[in-house]
Structure 1
Amino acid sequence: MLIAFAYGVTSLGDMANAGWILGLKAAAVAVVAHAVLGMARTLTPDARRATIAVATMTIVLLVPNIVAQVGAIVTAGIAGLLWLRPSLATGGDAVPFTVRVPRSVAVSSLVVFGALLAGLPILAASTGNAAVGLFDIFYRAGALVFGGGHVVLPLLQAETVQTGLIAQDTFLAGYGAAQAVPGPLFTFAAYLGTVAETSPSGLLGAAIALCAVFLPATLLVVGVLPFWEGLRRAPYMQRALMGVNAGVVGLLAAALYTPVFTEGITSTLALVVAAAAFVALTAWKAPAWAVVIVSALAGWVIL
């Protein structure tokens, strides 16, 4: 569905000022704001974690690049390890999650994960191969995201929009449309691979981007399973993860401001559409797909 939508967008030419595109961008503002609110309630319920979230947001806004984003999340984990109290940790009494994976298979998966993460940028730079470069972009986004599908937004925006691979308006329109389809938000990668302004794009670009963004999580899950029970019960790991989760809220809050709000709210009427969509999501508990469709229709009529 997202690939078909991408072909529709590209076939229509420059649609930056089309009303329905502006409606989708306004819907993206509401969806991300709703995600930030929900994550903040769960992941930053106390003053210390809220402080970590705001500090992370500040770092990412002041230094808008992927290195700063990753560094901010790492810093949030260290802050959680050193600052958050063990009594805040939860999950120690949960039912054990047991899946038998041979340790040799797990270690091999982790080695492949690390080798691709470190080696793909070098391979892309040395060969100049566009397909390898595209795979590298989406593999890194899938490898470095933490905390839920929406958090991939700032990473993908930094790697695709800031590098000129995809136009900002096209990116946000696709992100809005991604809320209207079932399945994980990572399928947004298929849309981005299709609309890439340099080859490979189209179906080949979609296949490369989609496989690349899901591969890191697959390798990590297989790699971590034999060690999961010990890790999740370790107090130091719980504190670090609490800090990282708080940092994720700050990262998404930064993305809510830029590029989502700064690019999505282009007029007073666009703000009205976004506000109505936010109320529909939060107060009326409307499904995201319905809110996106109605926002697009509203944009087509009034924007």
Structure 2
Amino acid sequence: MAGNKVRRRSAREIFTAFLRLGLTSFGGPIAHLGYFRTEFVEKRAWLDEQQFGQLLSISQFLPGPASSQLGFCIGLLKGGWLGALCAFLAFTLPSVMLLVVFAGLSSFLSGPVGIAIVHGLKLVACAVVADALLGMSRNLCPDAKRRTIAVAAAALLLVFSTSYMQLLVILLGGIAGVLALSGTASNNAATPISVSFGKRTGSVLITVFFALLFALPLFASAAPNLLSVAEAFYRAGALVFGGGHVVLPLLEDSVVTQRWVSPDQFLSGYGASQAIPGPMFAFSAYLGALIPTGAGALLTAAVALIFMFLPGFLLVAGVLPFWSSVSHSPVAARVIAGVNAAVVGLLGAALYNPIFTSGIEGTQDLAIALVGFGLLAVWRVSPLFVVLWCVLASVVPVLI
């Protein structure tokens, strides 16, 4: 890495470091950022605080999985393209393997106990998304103007629930940020970051991102085949700002609305993804394994996974050579703030539909989900315990 004295790392060293995180990083995307800082700033000293802060800002600014983009950047800076690939694979494969296995077993969850397990996982989604919404609203909507953007975004999405409206809301959030959020601070990091490639390569990567975004829909169809799967997951990965739980409504629109995956399969898999470490976007592999393309579950899962992550990685790698020129822009800071506020509204709308409407069937379900929310928001336990609580609370009445 140019601009500092820290040496590059071997692909094996990068893979080992990220595999450890991929096996142990429970708690979702926000928690992952803390794990990364502890591992690479405090323990290994691969980055200093300023460099980590800049990479974090880039990852939050761009659409895609923020924690995975941050890991990809760290791998890219420390080991080049091979290092970036090793970081992605090591951090992602453990969760992918677990979710693909769960998808294979989902057909056996058809009896009373199996149905109760699936329903319990849907209640996990209620608790986890509610906690994520609370945390994001505190951090991303600290004033009345941003809360107004969030409320307006949620209202629009509840009335007009389409993927096009989601994109429009994100764009309107950015415009509202420029117009209304004057005074928002930008990132003033002192230590520069640089990569082994220049702005020309960055421009090519950004061009590829837009080319795939506009070209894939021309060749995709409503039928579930590999090309339509690639288009649906690439679109979701390209349009989701905030990563993590925010991808839920985009994926739901892509795979449930088209009846590739049932609502129960979708929400139970989302609940199961809370019980495992690693990136939440690995949920795409679970969905891919269930989509009947005729090409096989593993191949479809691989296509869904690759095209879910690809747009975020193309963008973040493309932007890195240009970062020093735009990092101090107050306009960019206001756009980010407005988009983040709109993302809070998007997640709030998703909490009601499809999560609440599909998961809560009565007061008992509401009580179970509220206790799960309390475990996360008040007692700050691991999401794994929330999964155990919601599943057991749903299964025990069936067994009695």
> In which range does the TM-score fall when normalised by the shorter chain?
over 0.9
Match of residue 141 from structure 1 = 236
Q: Name 1:155's counterpart in structure 2.
A: 250
Show CA shifts across 1:27-63 (max 9, x none). 1000000000000000000000000001111111111
| TM-score normalised to structure 1 length | 0.94
Alpha-carbon deviation of 1:15?
Answer: 7.5
SS of match in other structure, 2:365: helix
* Matched residue, 2:200: 104
Contact 1:27/1:273 (8 A) holds in 2: no
Task: Report the Cα offset of residue 163 of structure 1.
Answer: 1.0
Structure 1 distance, partners of 2:118, 2:101, is 16
Among the aligned pairs, what percent are the same residue?
Answer: 45
Correspondence 1:285 to 2:380 = yes
- Are the structure 2 counterparts of residues 14 and 199 from structure 1 closer, same or farther at C-alpha, using a change threshold of 3 Å? farther
Segment of structure 1 superposing worse, 15-24 or 240-249: 15-24
**1-structure distance, mates of 2:179, 2:113:** 47
Q: Which residue of 2 aligns with 1:167?
A: 262
Give distance in 2, aligned partners of 1:176 and 1:121: 30
8 Å CA contact 2:116, 2:394 repeated in 1: yes
Query: Structure 2: how far apart are the matches of 1:107 and 1:217?
Result: 15
Write the distance in 2 (CA, Å) between the matches of 1:286 and 1:208: 34
SS of residue matched to 1:18: helix
Distance, in Å, in 1 between the alignment partners of 2:320 and 2:100 is 33
Aligned length: 301
Structure 2 residue aligned with 1:269: 364
TM superposition shift of 1:269: 1.3
Q: CA RMSD in A?
A: 1.9
Equivalents in 1 of 2:116, 2:190: separation in Å? 49
Q: Tell me which residue corresponds to 1:46.
A: 143
Partner of 1:194: 289
CA contact (8 A) 2:226 2:293 kept: no
> Which whole-Å deviations, capped at 9, do the CAs of 1:227-267 have from their partners, x for residues lacking one?
12222211111111100000000000000010011111112
CA distance in structure 1 between the partners assigned to 2:296 and 2:332 by the alignment: 40
Aligned to 1:295: 390
Aligned-pair distance for 1:270?
1.1
Partner of 1:32: 129
Report the secondary structure of 1:99's partner residue. coil
Cα distance in structure 2, aligned partners of 1:14 and 1:5: 16
- After superposition, give the CA deviation of every residue in 1:73-127 in whole Å (9 maximum; x if it has no partner): 0001000011111x2224235644433432221111111111100000001149x
Give the CA deviation at 1:16: 10
Query: Which residue pairs with 2:342 in the alignment?
Result: 247
Counterpart Cα distance in 2 of 1:81 and 1:14: 53
Amino acid at match of 1:80: G
Alignment CA distance shift 1:249-1:106 (3 Å): same
Unaligned stretches of 5+ in structure 1? Answer: none
Which secondary structure state, in structure 2, belongs to the residue aligned with residue 69 of structure 1? helix
Alignment partner, residue 60 of structure 1: 157
Work out which of the residue numbers 332, 352, 355 in structure 2 matches 1:257: 352
- Against the structure 1 CA distance between its residues 78 and 287, is the aligned structure 2 distance closer, same or farther, given a 3 Å change threshold? same
1:129 and 1:167 map into 2 onto residues whose CA distance is 13
Alpha-carbon spacing, 1:102–1:264, altered in 2? closer, same or farther (3 Å): same
Q: Identify which range, 9-18 or 102-111, moves more after superposition.
A: 9-18
Q: Structure 1 counterpart of 2:210, which letter?
A: G
Q: Which position in structure 2 is the counterpart of 1:88? A: 184
What is the rounded CA distance, in whole Å, between the counterparts of 1:96 and 1:167 in structure 2?
47
Residues 1:238 and 2:338 are matched in the alignment: no
Following superposition, the deviation at residue 12 of structure 1 comes to 3.7
Opposite residue 181 of structure 1, the aligned amino acid is I
Q: Secondary structure at the match of 2:220?
A: helix
SS of 2:235's partner is: helix
Preserved CA contact (<8 Å) 1:101 1:222: no
Which of residues 226, 236, 257 is equivalent to 2:321?
A: 226
- Stretch deviating more after TM superposition (8-17 or 256-265): 8-17
- Checking the alignment, whether the CA contact within 8 Å between 1:171 and 1:192 is kept in structure 2 is yes
Distance in 1 (alpha carbons) for counterparts of 2:394 and 2:116: 5
What is the rounded CA distance, in whole Å, between the counterparts of 1:241 and 1:290 in structure 2? Answer: 34
C-alpha change, 1:28 and 1:2, in structure 2 (3 Å) is same
Give the aligned residue type for 1:146.
F
- Cα 1:16–1:206 change in 2 (3 A) is farther
TM-score, length of structure 2 as denominator length: 0.72
Match of 2:215 among 119, 122, 126: 119
The range that moved more, 101-110 or 39-48, is 101-110
1:111-158 CA-to-partner distances (Å, cap 9, x unmatched) read: 1111100000001149x7811000111011111111121110000001
| Structure 2 residue corresponding to 1:19, chosen from 98, 107, 116 | 116
